[in-house]
Amino acid sequence: MSELHIDSIQKSYNNIPLLTDIFIRCNTGEIIGILGRNGSGKTTLMQIIFGSIQTENRYINVDGKMILNQFDHINQIHYLPQFDFIPHHLRIRNIIKLYCNKLNTAKMFENPIIKPLIDKKINQISGGERRLISVYLLLYSDAKFILLDEPFNGVAPIQRENIQEIIQEQSQFKGFIITDHDYRSILKIATKTILLHDGGTKIIHSNEELVEWGYLNEL
């Protein structure tokens, strides 16, 4: 079992605190759902963990090894941002081979959504198809820990269910941290739910607590 340890993260914008007291521990085998209102810092937190933005204070390690920048966690942590991150000139078949081991490459090639696209380049498919390819690449990648920012955004219900199933399957080998406005999809698969509230983290033990903390008006 591997562990991603996140602690003491602080982030301010224009001297206004956004994140002040962040603590998350994610083990392989866990699916951690991060919920929070708009502007609570969910995407910022993901970017800090991945190392794509700097912050005043951060303590992140994988299996006891400090992570200081993106180069320290190659093949340890992968991040799905909300924007396209795959170069458009690459062929999908080659991208899959770059990200995935042989077993998961075979699974990707046989996925009914991906199979018709594997010989195309990224710039030859639609925006929705690019998003799905990006999501599947991260789910099947070799990293120990996967950060997913809005993986269900714009995804059809049947595809959403397929993504949920793959996350649960791959969580046997990986740890997931997921945030999405579709909180029902998060609650359906999360083994632990954390609410960002007033800059800190609150572990949620029941859906009723989401109402108590002001995230939901009602269930």
Per-residue pLDDT tens digits for 33-52: 999 999 999 999 999 999 88
| Domain residue ranges in the chain | 3-212
CA distance 119 to 5: 39
More confident residue, 73 or 192: 192
User: pTM to 2 decimals?
Assistant: 0.93
pLDDT-based confidence at residue 72 (cuts at 50, 70, 90): low
Half-sphere exposure of 176 (CA within 13 A, CB side): 32
Question: Measured between alpha carbons, how far is residue 87 from residues 83, 91, 215 in Å?
Answer: 12, 9, 37
Q: Is the dihedral of CA 110, 145, 172, 37 positive or negative?
A: negative
Distance spanning both ends of the chain, measured CA to CA? 35
Tell which CATH classification among 3.50.50.60, 3.40.630.30, 3.40.50.300, 2.40.50.420 matches the domain 3-212: 3.40.50.300
Q: 181-216 in b/e burial notation, b at 16+ Cβ within 10 A? A: eebebbeebbebbbbbbebebbebeeeeebeebebe
Q: What is the DSSP code (8-state) at residue 20?
A: E
Angle at Cα 130 formed by Cα 37 and Cα 124, nearest 5°? Answer: 150
CA distance 184 to 188: 6
Over residues 116-161, the pLDDT tens digits come to: 999 999 999 988 888 899 999 999 998 999 999 999 988 888 889 9
